[in-house]
Amino acid sequence: MEEATASTSEDLIAKRTTERRESRQPSYSQIFCWNTTSPSFSAPRSPSNLYLIQQEEPAHIPDYTPLSLFTTIFCCLILGIAAMIPASEANNLKSIDPRKAKEQADMSRNLNIFGIGCGIIAYTVLIVQFGIMKKTVI
């Protein structure tokens, strides 16, 4: 009976230490391993070359596709189409390369602002010109 209790308690201690070790190890999907001896990502070899890097949540990258569609239909056709291309690129690159996606989104925003400005100027000129022509005809 004493031998059975001793082996059971040893098994229990071994099980608890194994559980503690397993609970401390992070999953490999959450870490990257950087090898300090050569500048490349590699599998962990020893605890001295293992650094944990937590992935940051990507910054919010706005979607300028609806604004590009508005610019195309109501303001300036050419600049609206030109703004749609980087807007769709930004949507495709959001999860792959957030920095490049942000650059494309900024380019789309700038083209949209320029297109809306051109549209406002063009409509103002047309309204003024047709207003003057209407007054001179009568």
Each residue's pLDDT tens digit, 41-63: 555 555 555 555 655 566 789 99
**pLDDT higher at 40 or 121:** 121
Residues sharing a CB contact under 8 Å with residue 95, sequence separation 6 or more, in sequence order = 58
Domain ranges of the chain: 2-49, 65-137
SS3 for 36? coil
Q: Does pTM top 0.75 for this prediction?
A: no
The dihedral over CA atoms of 40, 42, 46, 48, expressed in degrees to the nearest 10, equals 30
Identify the CA nearest to 38 among candidates 48, 49, 47: 49
* pLDDT at 2 > cutoff 50: no
